[in-house]
Structures are given as structure tokens and as C-alpha cells.
Structure 1
């Protein structure tokens, strides 16, 4: 996957839940999320995991697929998002913080606490057809990590998740979207088949896939605008 035209369309979610305060804008209400998935279906688009999307892209069979990703592995992915996805025949990728399973978002200081999925939750969503991938061990910015810390965050997180699920973990997402040349090379060398970043950069490609933020303000008009903007940026649209 090289070149501008090769960048697939991937939406980036975090949490799907009711909320009173959301200073980091990482939460989409269940009602809004259901409406967004309805919008995709009405437009003839199908939400899929990144793994499924890349396999389809490689064989020219992606059709009108849209990648759906959920960072951090919040417990509400299992309770709120997955039932909606299954109702539409969609799949998605959830990026789990391997060292904090069953814990909470300790990295978000002075923000509302959000529960993270347990090992049992991960097995349940994987059994429902969702892809589980790595979001590091501790959710630290990898650009500030030493070489040894970087290697540990990449390799140990995958080992933990593979032990939990008894299946290969092939995807990674950079915490905070922070990724430079060293981090992209390290992810590739660690054996991940792909990695998700956030914004487009000089490193954009299979190991730094750009994604489009999806938030609680994104109704049909904003979703359509974001989809069109992606096509204009990358010379590609569905």
C-alpha cells in the first residue's frame, strides 16, 4: 500500500456510551452511533475490520467497504457498539491496551473514568467476529520511549493478547497517533502486518494508515462531507 490512491477509508472511534462530560471528545452516544451505522448501510457501505479491509483491497474486492476502528478497548465496545455492528452485519477492529485489561483509562488525567474490556470481553467480541489488535501495553507515546521501551510495548502487548485469544494479532494502533520513522520501522520489524495512525503524514502507508475521526457531532451531512474530503485528498472514493 504505497501512494496516495492506496489509502483506504477508515473511521476512528473510541467510546460509545452516554456521557455528561467528554472533554477529549472521544465518546459517541449510543443513539448517534446507531444513526451513523444506519447512514453507512443506507449508502450501500459496509463496515469491516481493518484486517478484512486490507485483504479485500489487495485482491481488488473491497467494493464499498469502510474500515471501523475503536481505540483503547473500552468496555462499552462490547456492550454498546458490537450489538449495533452485528445488527448491520458489520465488523470492526478494537485496539486494546494489553497491560490494562479490566482497568480504566488511567492515561487520561483529570477526565471521566472509563472501564476497559476484560480478557473475557475480548474473547467474546473476537468470537462475535471482531478483530482485536494491539494499542501497546501502557498507552504511552512511543515517540518519547527509549528503543528498549518501544520494543517492549510492541512485542509484549501482542504476546499478551495472543495468549488471551489464542490467535495471531496482526494489527497495531499508535497511542495518541504519535508515530515517526523510528516507530513505523519498529512496528514493521516487530511483525505487525499493518498499523493505524491518525493524521496523514510523510509516513502514511500500510504501517501508518491515516484515519478519519468520527464524533458525536457527526450526523449525515458531516459524515458525507468527511467521506468526500477523503476522496479529494487521496484521489479515491466509494
Structure 2
């Protein structure tokens, strides 16, 4: 990562327009995809090409927030990939490189080499091993935490909440040898208690989906991107995003 988010916005500053952050998951075969979490590499390639044609470039959350702190970055889009699927290395990374894009990969250090058994309808998708996460980090991808084991933080007791936030951050820092600045709420579910735990664990920012009145640097809204998001749908999602989302304190 070229820029540390430690130089980023302060939560007490005047609210500014919310950044456009795309939420991806798996990049591979989407023939069996009941939760619509998968895009093919070809579709990702098409989507990034379309962003480029509109003068936009995908970057990590760290780079996006650092640029916004400088009063820049209006031409940047945050690219995030949840869950840490093993297909990220083979499916997403080559496409990101081809377009000169960065990204943030949110992973689960408590499920290294496991699968997505939290999705009852399947299909079972393998998750990255420790080596796979290191390979992504070495390629310039920002590594963030998606919690320890992918549980709903709004239902976690105090002990589990600390493990999912603070312990996952410590494990990932040890695994990658670098600070872990970003967190992503499993299922996008967030309440004030979860936000407070993430902030207390030392994260600089956190991503949700639609946090409503909790929107802040520790509960940033994102837009789901799937296989059905063709050029027209992607354009509409980008155009409508700021109209539907409230300003975020601390962003210029």
C-alpha cells in the first residue's frame, strides 16, 4: 500500500460527501450463486474498464481515505472484497493489475483455509490460507479484518466482540507484518456497540453496507456489485450513491 490511512480524516470534522465504495465478494464461477456474491473475472474486467472510461480508478480504502483527507480523490473509487475467498488471487488480482487498480481485501484470520459455512444454501467456497493472504499483501492489496470467524457483531457477547475485533486485528498484523487499519462488519450488520468496539480495537476506519444514522469513518456505506451489474447499472449506482447516502463526518 502506498499511502497510510493514519493520515486520514478526523471524526470530529465537518461532514463531507460520502465516498463511492464498491463491495465485491467472490470472483470466479457464478453458475451456482444463490446469494449473488460472485462475479466472473470477465465481468470484473468489464466493470473496471467502464469505471476507467468514466475517468474513475479503483483503489484501496486506505488510499481513498488518505486522498480525501488531502481534499483530493474525487476520481477514486474504493474497491473492497469481503470474506477472503481463495479465488481472489487467481480471479481478481490479475484483473486489478491489468487496470492498475488497488483494493482492500477483508479476511477472516479465524477461518484460514476454511470455507463459507455461514451461507446455508452454499455453494461451499474455499477461503484464503495464510500464504494466500500474504501473496495478496505482497501484490499491494490492503488487508483488513472481516472479524475473526464471521459472526453477527450485533449479537455477540463482550468476549466474542473483543475477539472478533481486537484479536483478529492482532492476528492479521502478525500474519502480514503490517498494521491493519480497516475493518468490515460481517453481514453489514452494525450497531453503536459494535462501532465502539471497532474503534476501541484501534481501527482507523470500518466498512458496513447501509449504516444509516451510524454513518461515520467507522461505519462507511458501500454499494453491492454483482454479476448483473452491466455498464448501465454500474453508472446508475455510481450516480445515485451520493443522493441516497448521508454525508460522513471528517471527509472533505
TM over 0.5: yes
Q: Displacement of 1:61 after TM fit? A: 2.0
2:57 aligned residue: 46
User: Where does residue 217 of structure 2 map in the other structure?
Assistant: 206
Residue matched to 1:91: 102
Distance in 1 (alpha carbons) for counterparts of 2:235 and 2:17: 20
Which residue of structure 2 aligns with residue 178 of structure 1? 189
Q: Report the TM-score when normalising by structure 1.
A: 0.95
**Is 2:76 the counterpart of 1:65?**
yes
Pairwise CA distance, 1:133: 0.3
Question: Does the CA contact (< 8 Å) of 2:18 and 2:242 recur in 1?
Answer: no
How far has the Cα of 1:119 moved from its partner? 0.8
Per the normalisation by structure 2, the TM-score is: 0.90
The C-alpha deviation readout for 1:82-137, integer Å capped at 9, x for no partner, is 11101111000000011011111121123101011111111111111110000011
The answer to whether the 8 A contact 1:136-1:174 is kept is: yes
**1:100 equivalent in structure 2:** 111
Greater RCO between the two (CA within 8 Å, min separation 6)?
Answer: 2
Q: Is the 8 A contact 2:17 2:242 kept in 1?
A: no
Cα RMSD (Å): 1.4
Q: 1:205-224 alignment to 2 at 5 Å?
A: 205-224=216-235
Unaligned runs of 5+ in 2: 1-10, 248-252
Distance 2:232 2:238 in 1: 10
Shift of 1:14: 0.3
In 2, Cα distance between equivalents of 1:227 and 1:219:
12
Unaligned runs of 5+ in 1: none
Match of 2:205 in 1: 194
Kindly tell me the number of residue pairs found equivalent between the two proteins. 236
Aligned counterparts, 1:10-159, within 5 A: 10-159=21-170
- Structure 2 CA distance, aligned partners of 1:214 and 1:142? 23
**Contact 2:58–2:101 under 8 Å retained in 1:** yes
- Distance in 2 of aligned mates of 1:166 and 1:235: 36
C-alpha distance in 2, partners of 1:68/1:175? 17
Alignment of 1:2-17 (within 5 A): 5-17=16-28
